[in-house]
Amino acid sequence: MWSSVAMLSIGVAYLITLIIGVARYGVRPIADPILAIMEVLTLVSAPIVVVLMVAIHDFAKPKRKAYGVLAIAFGSIFAALTSSVHFVELTALRQQGAGGIVWPSSIYAVELLAWDVFLGLALLFAGAALGVDMPHRTVRRSLYLAGGLCLLGTIGPAVGDMRLQLVGVVGYAVVLPVACVLLARLFLTYDG
């Protein structure tokens, strides 16, 4: 339950920081100190995603645990990639005066690989790890929706139109926090 609550809390903090950044910088890329705060929140969220996937795996019935293992594997790849990107951004690139993630760039492509592809896969397999009965069905659907939207976000960088990547943002910034609320409720009411 705590991993769900932590993900929700970080998601809300990130959204508030993003709103402040957009209000301050508009359509230009968000800069420090707002960008640094967003990167720290991302670094904090990465291992929590792995803990959340482990919790889902632990919660899963024995015949669905293989999906939970896959969720952990893809969640771990996600965490490693996004943590690497943001650690490099917060340290070496800032010291070189080259900080900031903008498209097109190799570092941004790795970030999108993490958030759109590997987080998307982790969420899809996390959904599959849950049972099909109520109340699991609603949680499962929310994880499927979040994961599917993340994967659809890959269309943006693939065709060079980053507006299309916003579909992925909706998956991890809007639907995932809702899924975390549902997961927290599910975990809280579980008596097994």
pLDDT tens profile 162-174? 999 999 999 999 9
pLDDT at 175 over 60: yes
How many CB atoms sit inside 10 A of residue 11's CB?
20
At 14, the amino acid letter reads: Y
Calculate what percentage of the chain has a pLDDT beyond 90.
75
Confidence band for 151, pLDDT divided at 50, 70 and 90: very high
Closest CA to 53 of 190, 171, 179, 192: 179
* pLDDT at residue 136, as a whole number: 84
Question: Above 90 in pLDDT, residue 153?
Answer: yes
Reply yes or no on whether the pLDDT at 27 is more than 80: no
Question: In Å, how far are 5, 64, 179 from 69, measured between CA atoms?
Answer: 22, 9, 19
pLDDT in tens, 86-140: 999 999 888 887 767 778 889 999 999 999 999 999 999 999 999 877 778 999 9
List the domain range (segments joined by +) for residue 56. 2-189
Cβ-proximal residues to 42 (8 Å cutoff; 6+ apart), any chain: 14, 82, 86
What is the pLDDT, as a whole number, of residue 95? 83
Domain count, the chain: 1
Using CA atoms in the order 154, 10, 52, 178, what is the torsion angle rounded to 10 degrees? Answer: -70
- At 192, is the pLDDT very low, low, confident or very high (cuts 50, 70, 90)? low
What tokens does 187 get?
């975990």
Q: Average pLDDT, stretch 178-184? A: 95
Which residue did the predictor score with more confidence, 159 or 96? 159
Q: What is the pLDDT of residue 99?
A: 67
pLDDT confidence bin for 191, thresholds 50/70/90:
low
